[in-house]
Structures are given as C-alpha cells and as structure tokens.
C-alpha cells in the first residue's frame, strides 16, 4: 500500500497530466492547415522548430519513427502514361524534391547526334535535328550506360536510327512521320571514310561488338509513330542517321522523362454555419467544379453540403459574397495530390520508384561525407 498522501504508480500513469498533450484547436489548425481567405491565404509558414510548442508539452520534432508511422502512398488513378496518388505525412520540401528529381534527374534515352547525308526539304538541318531530339523513344534507359566525350559509341551506350524518305517528282506532297525512323541494332551504316584498300572493313560512326537484339528483350523504337517530322514536296528527300544516348533533363529537356510532374495540397471545404434555402442554391451554382450539392431536409427545406472537396481548385468564389463567412477553405499541409505524366520511356510508377532511389543515393552521399 502506498503511504498516505501519495499515489500509486498506476494512478500516476493514468492521470491526465501523463496523457499525450494536445494543442488547442486554433493552434492545431495553424499547424496542420493553410487557410485560404477571400483575399489571400494565411498560416502559410510551417512550424519547423522542434520546441515550438514545448511550453504546452507537445513535441514538434521530426523523427524516423514518426515518419514511418505517418507516411502513406495511396494510388488513386493509374494508366499506361499517367498516375495520380496521394502522398501523406511528408513536408512540402520532400514532395518538391521528388518533383524536381522526376523532371531533371531521372535518365532517359534521347537522340543527341544527327549525321545528315541529304536534306533538300524546307526545314534547316539544325531545326530538323531539334525536332528529332524531342521524339520520345521506347527504350528502357536502365539497360544502357552513360557515354562520355572519350567513350566510343557501342551497343551499351548508343541507339542508332535511320531515316531515308523521298518524294518523287510529279507526286503529291508527303508527310514524314516519326514511325519512319528505323532502328539499326547492328549499329551505324554510314561510313566515316572510304576504306584505304578494297579488302579493308568499312569504318562507321559506332563500334558494336554484337547486335542489340542479342542483349535486349524488346525491340527499340519510337513511343508515338504519328509525330510529324517534316513535309516533303516533289523532288525533296531526307537521309540521315540519328544516335540516341542516355542523359538527364537538367542537361536538356529532351531527356526529361515526364511531360509534367506536379502536386497540390489536399483541399478541405468546411461549412461553419448551415447554408439553407436560396443561399444554398446560389452557392451550388457559384462553384465552377461542383464541389457543393443540395441536401433535401423535407418540408421543402434544403441546405448546402460539401459533395466533392477533392475537386476544389481554390478559385475562392464560394468565400466571396454574402455567405462567404459561413465557409472556410483549407489545405492540408502534409497531404499532397501528386500527378505524374510520363512521356512514354518508362511507366509513371517506375519513374517514381527511380526518383525515390535517386533521393536515397543523395542522402547516403551526404551521410558519407559527414561521417
């Protein structure tokens, strides 16, 4: 039995002082939400300091345990070239890091060099080369190596395409499409110079020791075969060889694996006071993305309810006008709706996995430098 005037260990543990402390509602709102008023958002600055709420007994520090407990990925939509998912439990800096890595640091294959044999079209050589470089290639960059200035183009670091089209005299104009690019798995067919003797082997712009068909499971080509490259009139022709190499988007946008990668914070629409009757109908009509709907209360009564808060684009039309004070628009600070649109080189889910690996390598590099 405990002494008089003292509490047992169990009583102390069960006491209210030992329970997990919570912030008042208004502070919790500031910490976890961005409130969007009619004129401008407020509470945009996050609380990064671990001791911000120490006086209230609330730990605001960041730890691996908290991250593992709160982090979550919820895939909402997945197609061949596009993915939408929710990233929950991370800071905006982490979400933005993935976005920047996806745009600029995940490698792909793209046409880098053009060897022009003939071009009598109206498009200048440099413009034609630029158009070819932006055509997405259906080639897995993970199967290829980077090439440096001193490396010899070979089957492990270079993909060769050939384009040879012509428009005969007296015929109609023709459109040259990206599907006419022909993959050369044996390497270059253009000779650098004529052989010194008739028996010498012809020297080309690549040095393939084996066919790429032997080392690749799937054939290589362009992702979209209907991209217009040029228009040829009667008597005009294009003959060239295109060499694709591995690169990243921060060197040139043609190596960026995504058409776009973007995110937005999850919207929250809160009705602080009931909006009924004609005001409810006016509110429903005012929203351009149909966030609100009408609920029938019976006896000809009706009120506005939030039907699709995720669709909110933050136009703030609902918080302007007579019923604006009855609605509050918020954004959840650690919940991001992420969208990835791939150019076709890799599926979007693979692109995000590669971005995670790159961020992990960066973190390991920092840790090794500090240790």
Give which of 69, 104, 33 is closest to 266, Cα–Cα: 33
pLDDT of residue 324: 85
Tokens coding 189: 């067919």
97 and 360 Cβ atoms separated by less than 8 Å: no
What percent of the chain has a predicted confidence (pLDDT) above 90? 77
Please check the confidence at residue 313 and state whether its pLDDT lies above 50: yes
Residue whose pair of structure tokens reads 């993305």 in the numeric block: 289
pLDDT of residue 321: 83
Give which of 115, 212, 118 is closest to 157, Cα–Cα: 212
The pLDDT tens digits for 230-280 are: 999 999 999 999 999 999 999 999 999 999 999 999 999 999 999 999 999
CA dihedral 267, 353, 215, 201 (to 10 degrees): 80
Give the mean pLDDT of 304-329: 92
What are the two backbone dihedrals, phi and then psi, of residue 258, each rounded to the nearest 5 degrees? -120, 140
Name all contacts of 41-48 with Cβ < 8 Å and 24+ positions apart: 41/331, 46/91, 46/92, 46/333
**How far is Cα 109 from Cα 144, in angstroms, rounded to an integer?**
9
Give the mean pLDDT of 55-72: 90
3-state secondary structure of 370: helix
The pLDDT tens digits for 207-217 are: 999 999 999 99
What sign results for the dihedral spanned by CA atoms 72, 355, 242, 191?
negative
Pairing state between β 258-271 and 82-88: unpaired
Maximum mean pLDDT: which of 9-13, 26-30, 172-176, 318-322: 172-176
What are the two backbone dihedrals, phi and then psi, of residue 368, each rounded to the nearest 5 degrees? -65, -35
Band (pLDDT 50/70/90 cuts) for residue 10 is very low
**How far is Cα 131 from Cα 283, in angstroms, rounded to an integer?**
48
Tokens coding 110: 């793209």
């Amino acid at each position: 039995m405990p002494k008089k005037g003292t509490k047992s260990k169990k009583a102390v543990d069960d006491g209210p002082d030992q329970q997990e402390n919570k912030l008042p509602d208004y502070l919790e709102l500031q910490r976890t939400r961005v409130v969007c008023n009619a004129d401008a958002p407020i509470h945009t600055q996050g609380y990064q300091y671990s001791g911000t709420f120490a006086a209230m007994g609330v730990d605001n520090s960041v730890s691996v345990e908290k991250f593992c407990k709160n982090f979550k990925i919820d895939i909402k939509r997945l197609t061949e070239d596009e993915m939408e998912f929710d990233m929950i439990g991370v800071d905006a800096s982490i979400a933005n890091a993935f976005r920047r890595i996806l745009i600029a640091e995940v490698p792909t294959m793209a046409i880098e060099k053009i060897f022009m044999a003939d071009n009598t079209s109206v498009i200048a050589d440099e413009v034609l080369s630029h158009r070819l470089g932006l055509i997405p290639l259906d080639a897995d960059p993970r199967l290829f190596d980077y090439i440096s200035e001193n490396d010899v183009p070979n089957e492990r670091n270079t993909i060769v395409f050939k384009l040879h089209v012509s428009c005969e005299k007296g015929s109609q104009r023709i459109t040259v499409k990206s599907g006419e690019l022909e993959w050369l798995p044996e390497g270059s067919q253009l000779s650098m110079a004529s052989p010194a003797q008739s028996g010498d082997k012809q020297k080309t712009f690549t040095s393939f020791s084996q066919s790429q068909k032997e080392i690749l499971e799937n054939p290589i080509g362009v992702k979209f075969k209907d991209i217009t490259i040029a228009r040829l009139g009667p008597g005009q022709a294009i003959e060239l060889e295109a060499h694709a190499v591995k690169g990243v988007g921060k060197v040139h946008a043609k190596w960026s694996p995504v058409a776009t990668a973007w995110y937005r914070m999850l919207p929250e629409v809160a009705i602080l006071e009931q909006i009924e009757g004609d005001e409810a109908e006016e509110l429903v009509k005012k929203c351009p993305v149909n966030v609100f709907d009408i609920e029938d209360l019976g006896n000809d009564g009706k009120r506005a309810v939030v039907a699709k808060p995720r669709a909110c684009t933050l136009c703030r039309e609902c918080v302007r006008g007579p019923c604006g004070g009855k609605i509050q628009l918020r954004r959840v600070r650690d919940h991001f709706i992420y969208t990835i649109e791939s150019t076709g080189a890799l599926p979007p889910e693979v692109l995000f996995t590669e971005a995670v690996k790159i961020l992990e390598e960066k973190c390991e590099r920092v840790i090794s430098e500090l240790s």
